[in-house]
Amino acid sequence: ELDGHRHFMHKEIHEQPQAVSDTLEGRIAGDQVLVEAFGPEARSVFAEVERVQIVACGTSYHAGLTARYWLEDILRLPCGAEVASEFRYRNPVLQDNTLFVFISQSGETADTLAAMEQVRAERDSQGLNLPMLAICNVPESSLTRGADLTLLTHAGPEIGVASTKAFTTQLVALALLLVSLGKVQQRLSPEREARIVAGLKKLPRLIEGALVHEPQLEALARIFVDKHNALFLGRGTHYPIAMEGALKLKEISYIHAEAYPAGELKHGPLALVDENLPIVAVAPADDLLEKLKSNLQEVRARGGRMIIIADERAGIASEPGLEVVPAATHVGRITAPITLNIPLQLLAYHVAVLRGTDVDRPRNLAKSVTVE
Q: Residues 268 to 287: which contact ligand M6R by CB under 6 A? A: none
Interface residue with ligand M6R, options 16, 85, 104, 341 (CB under 6 A) = 104
Supply φ then ψ for residue 137, to 5 degrees.
-100, -15
Q: Residues 42 to 61: which contact ligand M6R by CB under 6 A? A: 57-60
Q: Is 339 helix (H, G, I), strand (E, B) or coil?
A: helix
What is the rounded CA–CA span in Å between residue 34 and residue 39?
Answer: 10
Among 32-40, 106-114, 313-321, 340-348, the segment contacting ligand M6R (CB under 6 A)? 106-114
Interface residue with ligand M6R, options 16, 23, 150, 163 (CB under 6 A) = 163
Question: Does 162 contact ligand M6R by CB under 6 A?
Answer: yes
DSSP codes of every residue in 257-285 = EEEEEGGGGGGTGGGG-STTS-EEEEE-S
Of 113 and 308, the one with the shorter C-beta distance to ligand M6R is 113
Of 46 and 100, the one with the shorter C-beta distance to ligand M6R is 100
Strand duo 306-311 + 279-283: pairing: parallel
| Per-residue b or e along 99-114, where b marks 16 or more CB atoms closer than 10 Å to that residue's CB | bbbbbbbbbbbbbbbb
Is residue 30 packed enough to be buried (19+ CB in 10 Å), middle (13-18) or exposed (0-12)?
exposed
Q: Which residue is nearest to ligand M6R (CB)?
A: 58
Question: Does 169 contact ligand M6R by CB under 6 A?
Answer: no
User: Does 367 qualify as catalytic in the annotation?
Assistant: yes
Q: Minimum Å distance from CB 285 to ligand M6R?
A: 28
Question: Does 245 contact ligand M6R by CB under 6 A?
Answer: no
Catalytic, out of 201, 227, 250, 367:
367
Q: Minimum Å distance from CB 232 to ligand M6R?
A: 15
Q: Is 104 helix (H, G, I), strand (E, B) or coil?
A: strand
What is the rounded CA–CA span in Å between residue 24 and residue 71?
Answer: 19
Question: Does 66 contact ligand M6R by CB under 6 A?
Answer: no
Q: Minimum Å distance from CB 56 to ligand M6R?
A: 6
What is the rounded CA–CA span in Å between residue 69 and residue 92?
Answer: 21
Which residue, 87, 32, 83, is CA-closest to 60? 83
Which residue, 179, 95, 91, 170, is CA-closest to 131? 95
Q: Minimum Å distance from CB 170 to ligand M6R?
A: 8
Q: Minimum Å distance from CB 247 to ligand M6R?
A: 6
Cite the active site residues. Answer: 367
Chain residues in the site for ligand M6R (CB under 6 A): 57-60, 104-106, 109, 112, 161-163, 247, 251, 368-369
